[in-house]
Amino acid sequence: MQKQFYFIPATTKDSTNLYISPLHVYEFFHAQTLCKELLYSGTQTGQYSFLPLDTHTELREENNIHNTFSTLKNVEKYFKTKQKHYNLESFTLNIPYCGGLIAAFSYDYALQNNTQQNTAYFAFSDVFLVFDHKKKEILICGWFNTKSFWEQYSQRILLQIQRLSRKRTKTLATELEKKEQNNHLLENITFKNIISKEHYFKSFQTIQKEIIQGKSFQINLSQGFTANKPNEVSAFDIFKHATIKNPAPMMCFLEWEQNKNNKKIKKSIISCSPERLFSLDTKRKIFTQPIAGTRKLTKNRTQDEQLENELKTSEKEIAEHSMIVDLLRNDFGKVAEFGSVEVTEFARVEKYETVMHLVTDIEAQLPENKSAFDVFSALFPGGTITGTPKQETIKILEREEIRNRGYYCGSVGYFSLHGTADFNILIRTLEQTDNELYGRAGGGIVYDANAENEYEESLHKWAGITKIFSQNNDTTDTTIQS
């Protein structure tokens, strides 16, 4: 018997007070072990956030190349087996996600020769909340075998949301006090570079030699940063601050436990990603938005206008951006219908909290014999955070970068039951393992790049992360110790 899709609104026109931030709902339900993943749109342009509930299957691939889910083909096989248990025709809502597989792929998942770091996380859910930020609505959605089971479940969730709405009003003063305490604790978190500036310059010179020898045209070299997190601060506390200090359209938060040396440790992904790896909609249109080309954002209008004009007219930046766009067009061409790949907007400037970027829109049509998994396989890891040609560049980066990237430059998103998908690229991201916070920032290097400029650019990007931990809104304060 196939499960049917049901939904009810948790908000009505005469009860708009019930529209609560996904952050507060996550925190409330997480305390009841109802959720561990949140896909959050942190900007005004993003319409939806999704909160999966009761993820009843978790699939972890940790340091085991023989694990059932260690290849994307095996993950797809599992997904298609699950898909058969749902009457997809019963899903009639015009939203991009209807339940399915939430997936987190580390960058290391793509490294064929590095079996010790081949890491990913999957969680399957067929009940979830939809937050429509434009309509200020919450929908409770789920797949159930009988309507009576659905009614029991949905009423329980609805009562919880109503309870949370009343509780929010009563406890606001207490929460403000707690926020002040957390602000003080966050200010004490200081990141340290895992390499010296001299080491970065040495790697830079080695990479430029590889480019001059013709092994690659552009290589995205990154440097890493670490900090210790106080026990009093949760990973989700940091994420809440990130939504205020560094909002971005492809944000996400995930938390789980994993085994390491026969010990359970906490793992979290805290991402302020502005970049989409790809999306696939119900009309089988695939879409990506490569980001390549950066200038710092000073918050001084005159200076920012000068920097924006400099970015848009720089022959070097446009040439580098074009290389990445060509790489992405070629990646799309591996799975798209012949002749359907199109650049719909080229090299516009988008501004974020600490930097501005050149961004291009690329779309194509996916044929009926291809799936979202084929698109992911063709694009992952993203070309903007590796370089071109991709596979040779990945090998060079593996030799030159100290410490594996981990989830940095990996991807988080969903494979929806009705065939859609949406994945980010995990830049502007922190990975928490127990109480260690780890992240990276980098930029594309070409044959005529300047080492000092590239080093400074990576720090400007990293400032988007360190801004989360500072009460100072000056984006030049990177809060880093060498």
Question: What is residue 164's predicted lDDT score, i.e. its pLDDT?
Answer: 86
Question: What is residue 71's predicted lDDT score, i.e. its pLDDT?
Answer: 81
Rounded to an integer, what is the distance from CA 245 to the centroid of its chain?
A: 16
Closest CA to 191 of 224, 220, 222, 240: 224
Question: Residue 184 — very low, low, confident or very high, per pLDDT cuts 50/70/90?
Answer: confident
Question: What is residue 1's predicted lDDT score, i.e. its pLDDT?
Answer: 86
The per-residue pLDDT for range 85-121, each reduced to its tens digit, is 999 999 999 999 999 999 999 998 887 554 554 488 8
Distance in angstroms (rounded) separating the CA atoms of residues 476 and 215: 35
Question: Is residue 43 scored above 80 in pLDDT?
Answer: no
Tell me the two tokens of residue 172: 């606001």
Question: What is residue 163's predicted lDDT score, i.e. its pLDDT?
Answer: 86
Average confidence score pLDDT of the chain? 88
80-89: average pLDDT: 96
Tell me the two tokens of residue 449: 């790049």
Give the pairing of strands 191-193 and 480-481.
Answer: parallel
Q: Is 284 left (phi over 0), alpha (psi -120 to 50) or beta?
A: left
Question: Is residue 130 scored above 80 in pLDDT?
Answer: yes
382 is catalytic: no
Query: Can you list the positions of beta strands (E) in 261-368?
Result: 263-271, 276-280, 285-288, 291-296, 342-351, 355-365
Question: What is residue 182's predicted lDDT score, i.e. its pLDDT?
Answer: 66
Which of 68-72, 121-125, 140-144 is predicted least confidently? 68-72
25-31: average pLDDT: 90
Query: Can you list the positions of beta strands (E) in 208-249?
Result: 218-228
The neighbour count for residue 222, using CB atoms within 10 Å, is 23
153 is catalytic: no
In the block, tokens 């020898």 appear at 213
Higher pLDDT, 171 or 375: 375
Catalytic residue among 357, 405, 440, 460: 357
408 is catalytic: yes
Question: What is residue 110's predicted lDDT score, i.e. its pLDDT?
Answer: 81
Question: Residue 476 — very low, low, confident or very high, per pLDDT cuts 50/70/90?
Answer: very low
Question: What is residue 482's predicted lDDT score, i.e. its pLDDT?
Answer: 44
Q: Which domains, from first to last, does the chain contain?
A: 4-481 (3.60.120.10)
214 is catalytic: no
Question: Is residue 462 scored above 50 in pLDDT?
Answer: yes
32-50: average pLDDT: 82
Distance in angstroms (rounded) separating the CA atoms of residues 393 and 242: 31
Phi, psi (deg, nearest 5) at residue 346: -115, 125
42-71: average pLDDT: 70
Question: Residue 401 — very low, low, confident or very high, per pLDDT cuts 50/70/90?
Answer: very high
Amino acid at 9: P
Question: What is residue 181's predicted lDDT score, i.e. its pLDDT?
Answer: 58
321 is catalytic: no
Distance in angstroms (rounded) separating the CA atoms of residues 76 and 71: 9
Catalytic residue among 42, 383, 444, 464: 444
Catalytic residue among 321, 428, 440, 460: 428
Question: Is residue 61 scored above 90 in pLDDT?
Answer: no
The per-residue pLDDT for range 249-297, each reduced to its tens digit, is 999 999 988 777 778 888 999 999 999 999 999 999 999 999 999 999 9
Distance in angstroms (rounded) separating the CA atoms of residues 53 and 241: 23
Give the pairing of strands 355-365 and 421-424.
Answer: unpaired
Question: Residue 194 — very low, low, confident or very high, per pLDDT cuts 50/70/90?
Answer: very high
Catalytic residue among 384, 429, 475, 479: 384
pTM over 0.85: yes
Close Cβ partners of 362 (under 8 Å, ≥ 6 residues apart): 287, 288, 289, 290, 325, 328, 329, 332, 341, 342, 343, 344
Residues in the chain: 482
Residue 240's H or E segment, with its range, is: helix 235-245
Catalytic residue among 26, 40, 407, 408: 408
Q: Contact, 51 vs 107, CB < 8 A?
A: no
Close Cβ partners of 394 (under 8 Å, ≥ 6 residues apart): 110, 111, 381, 386
Question: Is residue 131 scored above 90 in pLDDT?
Answer: yes
Question: Is residue 428 scored above 90 in pLDDT?
Answer: yes
Which of 10-14, 219-223, 402-406 is predicted least confidently? 10-14
Residue 185's H or E segment, with its range, is: helix 172-187
Which of 4-18, 25-39, 151-165, 397-411 is predicted least confidently? 4-18
Question: Residue 198 — very low, low, confident or very high, per pLDDT cuts 50/70/90?
Answer: very high
Cis? peptide before 52, omega within 30° of 0? no
Distance in angstroms (rounded) separating the CA atoms of residues 347 and 315: 12
In the block, tokens 């009423």 appear at 155
Question: Is residue 432 scored above 50 in pLDDT?
Answer: yes
Question: What is residue 12's predicted lDDT score, i.e. its pLDDT?
Answer: 53
- Helices 22-30 and 235-245 sit at what angle, rounded to 10 degrees? 180
